[in-house]
Every structure is written in C-alpha cells, then in structure tokens.
Amino acid sequence: MSSLYSLRPELEFSTQTQHGSNYVVVKDPVTHRYLRFTENQGIILELIREPIDLDSLAKAAAARFGVPVKAKSLEGLLRSLEQKQLLDTPRVQEEIAEYEARKSKDQNLLYYQLFSLDAERVFEWLFPKVRWCFTPTFHVFAVLIILTGFFISFSNGNRLGSQVASLISVYGFLMIWVVVVCVVTLHEFAHGLTCRYFGGKVRKLGFMLIYFAPALFCDVSDSWMFPKRRDRMWVTFAGGYFQLVVWGLALIVWRM
C-alpha cells in the first residue's frame, strides 16, 4: 500500500506578493517558526493538506501546472517538508512531542529569556482602550507633534546642549535610567498593539538578557503572516514612530 502524505493540520497559511512574485508563508504554531515557499511549492502544499499518495499527488500537480510531473521529482520536496517538521508523520509527531522539553533545556546564555507575560491576554484587554491611536486624526496630531519637536530642537539647540551637563549626577543618571525603561516599554507596546491592530497575535512580552545586557522584548513574529507588505512595515516602524511622538511631547513640555 502506498504511503499517504499530508501536512500537520494545525499549520497556518498566508499568500503574499513581493516584487511581482507570489509566495506562501507557513506558520507552525507549535515551534513558532515561519517558513516561506514559492508559488509552485505552495501549490504542492495545498494539494497535501489532505492525505494523498505520491502517484495521485503527481497527477494532481500535473493538472495544476499544465505539464507532466514525475512522482520522483516530488520526493525531494516531501523529504524537505518532513525535515522542517511540516508533514504529519510518526517521526515528526515524536519530534513535536519532545519540542517543549528540548526548548526549555536549550536556552542560549547570550540570548536568555528571564520571564514573559501572557501577552495575548494583555493586548486583548489594552487594544480597545487605545484603538484611537490608529485613527487618521491621531496620525495628523502625531506628525504635528514630531514637526514641532524638530522645530524646538533646532531653534533651541544651544540651550538644550548647555543643560546636558546638569544631568551628570547620581540623580541625573537615575532619572535617565527611569526614562529609558519607560520609553523602551512604550516602544515595545507600540510594536505589539500595531501587530494586534492588523490582526496578528502577540505571543510573548517580557524581559531577557541579550549578550548579558537587559532588554524588554515583544514577539510580533505573527506579522510575517500579513498579506500586505505595508502592514508588516508598519509593525516594524511603530516603535520608533511612537518614540518620536514621545520625544516631541517632551520637547514641547520642556519649552513651555
């Protein structure tokens, strides 16, 4: 009896277009990996979402491509899919079952996660309260604040520079540390809320050590599943954009 091939049922798919070419991005919700395939490979993935034998797969692929497809030419792709833990086979099921235990033992000391929150619950609660930040009115307001900040900065450059010396003290460094932590926290929340706005899930939000340096983090990997490149770019840009708004507001308050 011929072996049947099928993808794991929990996998998620997103069709995307970049530079005129179509791609399929596959999300593995267990290993939290995102894999990109070409349009032709995506057709094969579509055909094996349900169990199918190799000969039937070759015939179905030939019908979709409009050219003959040999069964042997598909074996390499199927082996690759199994190595990537995407096929629903006994070997892959065993590897997936051991994944969580192996992951907890394999933390890299140079990229060490100390703790994380239930980010999805946090952002589900917070998002309705700040949804107004994604309105055109807010963006107009934000741009005006940023432009005002640049104006104040250039027109008061000497005065700002002369006041930097007043921060060289224990109290000054303490205040700088508090401000940096607050701004970085807002930066990460901006990434997460933007990802949530476009329909993504934020899996983790927490604190880690990167090369032994403390850092906050927000896992917005789900943005890879967004079909529109613009939406993915907004998630990346959101942190810096919101920091500029905070910077502009701080300069306005300082000037007043």
Instruction: Say if residue 52 is in the same domain as residue 159.
Output: no
Do 152 and 90 sit in the same domain of this protein?
Answer: no
Q: Are residues 118 and 206 both part of a single domain?
A: yes
Average pLDDT, the chain: 88
- Total domains in the chain come to 2
- 3-state secondary structure string across 136-155: HHHHHHHHHHHHHHHHHHHH
**Domain check: are 195 and 125 in the same one?**
yes
Q: Domain check: are 95 and 170 in the same one?
A: no
pLDDT tens digits along 207-216: 877 776 777 8
Q: Are 194 and 230 in contact (CB under 8 A)?
A: no
Q: Please identify, among 105, 126, 153, the residue that sits at the C-terminal boundary of a domain.
A: 105
Is residue 192 domain-shared with residue 82, that is, in the same domain?
no
Residues 89 and 167 in one domain: no
239 shares a domain with 119: yes
87: domain range? 4-105
Q: Are residues 94 and 132 in the same domain?
A: no
Q: Are 34 and 23 in contact (CB under 8 A)?
A: no
Identify the weakest region by mean pLDDT among 5-19, 113-127, 155-169.
155-169
Find the mean pLDDT for residues 140-159.
Answer: 91
**Are 221 and 154 in the same domain?**
yes
All residues at 6 or more sequence positions from 191 whose CB lies less than 8 Å from its CB, including other chains:
218, 220, 235, 236, 238, 239
In the predicted model, what is the mean pLDDT of residues 192-199? 94
Examine the fold and report which residue of 58, 83, 105 is the final residue of a domain before the chain moves on: 105
Instruction: Say yes or no: 115 and 101 in one domain.
Output: no
236 within 8 A of 211, measured Cβ to Cβ: no
* 77 plus 155 within the same structural domain: no
HEC sequence for 68-106: CCCHHHHHHHHHHHHHCCCECCHHHHHHHHHHHHHHHHC
Beta bridge partners of 206: 116, 217
Both tokens of residue 12?
A: 């998620």
List, for residues 226-246, the tens digit of each pLDDT value: 999 999 999 999 999 999 999
pLDDT tens, 74-114?
Answer: 999 999 999 999 999 989 988 888 876 666 555 666 667 77
Long-range contacts, 173-178 (Cβ 8 Å, 24+): none
Which of 46, 75, 105 corresponds to the end of one domain?
A: 105
**Position 155 pLDDT exceeds 70:** yes
CA distance 26 to 14: 7
The CATH number assigned to the domain holding 30 equals: 3.90.930
Instruction: Grade residue 256 by pLDDT with cuts at 50, 70 and 90.
Output: confident
The residue-averaged pLDDT of 150-156 equals 90
Hunting for tokens 């999805």 — which residue is that? 120
In this predicted structure, the answer to whether residue 247 has a pLDDT above a threshold of 80 is yes
| CB-based contact 12:225 (threshold 8 Å) | yes
